[in-house]
Each structure stands twice: as structure tokens, then as C-alpha cells.
């Protein structure tokens, strides 16, 4: 059974909370897409009108993250400076963090970040035991993973050509990318984000994907619980 991860692209704290409420009890994880208006043209909460007062309270531990006791979350950091941003999300309670390889200035910077993260927050070096994934765009060769592989727990392949937007068309090239990664790294967890729906999901699973990050194909249905069950049963 694949792991299904609903994706929220929140424009406000209220929208985030509602998105979490709609899937709490149905899945163990959600993904929260964080856009800073630099790495991608759009912004999402909490970068709209920052500093956001609700987020400030969360990272200061004055308040808990919405539904923190019912559902865990991973953060897709579509930001220009993940090295500066990630600590805020560790403080907010994220269990998985996903920077984008393309956001690092050099491959060496990406490797240094992954090494440092693993030593501070990974299973061997911290009671937090956080997971680190690395997202790669459709045009990024899988060879970039080689120096990172011992420091990350999963890779997130983008299934669309234009990141940071929901409802983008599925890019079939990701299927060959997933097959290549599965062949080279048979034990690596592969997550797919972008263009995932009930039509494309079976192709991705056949190619070797383990996790499916699903946005509008879940949230824009009339029966979210039933749709999630359909994905799980693929």
C-alpha cells in the first residue's frame, strides 16, 4: 500500500488549519508547501505578510502547531535559502523536511547541509530523529544524488515541469526518472509531488514510487475520505 500524503498550499493560517482538519484521522502525514516568492513566484503562509503572528507564536512554543497531536507534517521548502529557513520548521514541529536541490548555490553546499542536518537531527544524532528528503526537478539528473545518498532518507521527484503551482500537468518524464532511481538505489524511499491523481498514480507506483503527494486530486473532491481510500487501494 503506498503512503498517501495530502498536500496543502496554504494562503493563510485559517486555510492551513482547515486543510489539516479535513484529513486528520485519514492519513499519518500531510505536506505543507512553503513558497517564499523568491525561489518560486508565489508566496504561501507564513511568508505572506511576514512576520506572521500565528507562526511566530508556534516557533516560540507559545502555541502548538494546528492538530499537532493528531497528524504529523512534512515541509516542502520551495525557498531560496533553505539553510536559513529550515530551523524555523524544526522549531515548529516538522517531522520531515524537504529542501530542493536546485535552491542550493552549489552541489557541495547541498551536501554540507545534508551532512549537518543528519548529524544534528537525524536518527543517530538526535532524539528528534527527523527525516531529510531532497527534492529534484524534472530536468535535474539523478547523478546529483550520489554524494547525498548516505545523508538523506528519501528523494522527492517533482512530477511537473513548473513547481510551486497546483493543477500543473503531469510530466511523463518523471516515470523514467523514478525507474532509474529505483534501479540505482533499490532501498531509497521515493516520493512524488506534482501531477499525482488517480490516473497517474498507478504509473508512478509501477515505476517504483513509495509515497504519493496529492493536492487538488484530494482536496477538490466531494468525498475526501473516499478519495484517499481509493489512492491507498491502488
The total of structural domains in the chain comes to: 1
Q: What's the pTM value of the predicted model, to 2 decimals?
A: 0.95
Domain that holds residue 211: 3-232
What are 184's three cell numbers?
540505482
Local structure of 72: helix, strand or coil: strand
pLDDT in tens, 37-46: 999 999 999 9
For residue 85, the model assigns a pLDDT of 92
Model pLDDT for residues 133-191, shown as the tens digit of each residue: 999 999 999 999 999 999 999 999 999 988 877 677 999 999 999 999 999 999 999 99
CATH number at residue 53: 3.20.20.70
Cross-strand partners of 7: 31
State residue 225's pLDDT score.
97
Paired residues of 77 in beta bridges = 34, 99
- The rounded distance, in Å, linking the Cα atoms of 223 and 234 is 17
- Grade residue 222 by pLDDT with cuts at 50, 70 and 90: very high
- CA distances to 10, 38, 76, 127, 153 from 45, in Å: 6, 14, 12, 28, 26
Amino acid at each position: 500500500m503506498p503512503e498517501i500524503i495530502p498536500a496543502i498550499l496554504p494562503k493563510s493560517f485559517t486555510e492551513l488549519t482547515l486543510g489539516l482538519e479535513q484529513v486528520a484521522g485519514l492519513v499519518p502525514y500531510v505536506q505543507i508547501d512553503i513558497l517564499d516568492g523568491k525561489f518560486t513566484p508565489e508566496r504561501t503562509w507564513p511568508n505572506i505578510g511576514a512576520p506572521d503572528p500565528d507562526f511566530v507564536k508556534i516557533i516560540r512554543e507559545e502555541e502548538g502547531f494546528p492538530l499537532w497531536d493528531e497528524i504529523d507534517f512534512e515541509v516542502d521548502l520551495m525557498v531560496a535559502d533553505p539553510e536559513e529557513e529550515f530551523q524555523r520548521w524544526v522549531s515548529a514541529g516538522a517531522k520531515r523536511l524537504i529542501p530542493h536541490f536546485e535552491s542550493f548555490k552549489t552541489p557541495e553546499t547541498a551536501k554540507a547541509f545534508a551532512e549537518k542536518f543528519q548529524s544534528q537531527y537525524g536518527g543517530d544524532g538526535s532524539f528528534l530523529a527527523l527525516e531529510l528528503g531532497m527534492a529534484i526537478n524534472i530536468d535535474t539528473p539523478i547523478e546529483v544524488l550520489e554524494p547525498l545518498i548516505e545523508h538523506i532518507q528519501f528523494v522527492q521527484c517533482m512530477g511537473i515541469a513548473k513547481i510551486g503551482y497546483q493543477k500543473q500537468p503531469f510530466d511523463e518524464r518523471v516515470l523514467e526518472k523514478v525507474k532509474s532511481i529505483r534501479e540505482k538505489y533499490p532501498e531509497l524511499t521515493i516520493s512524488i509531488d506534482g501531477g499525482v491523481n488517480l490516473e497517474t498514480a498507478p504509473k508512478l507506483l509501477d515505476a517504483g514510487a513509495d509515497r504519493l503527494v496529492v493536492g487538488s486530486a484530494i482536496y477538490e473532491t466531494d468525498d475526501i475520505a473516499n478519495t484517499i481510500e481509493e489512492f491507498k487501494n491502488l
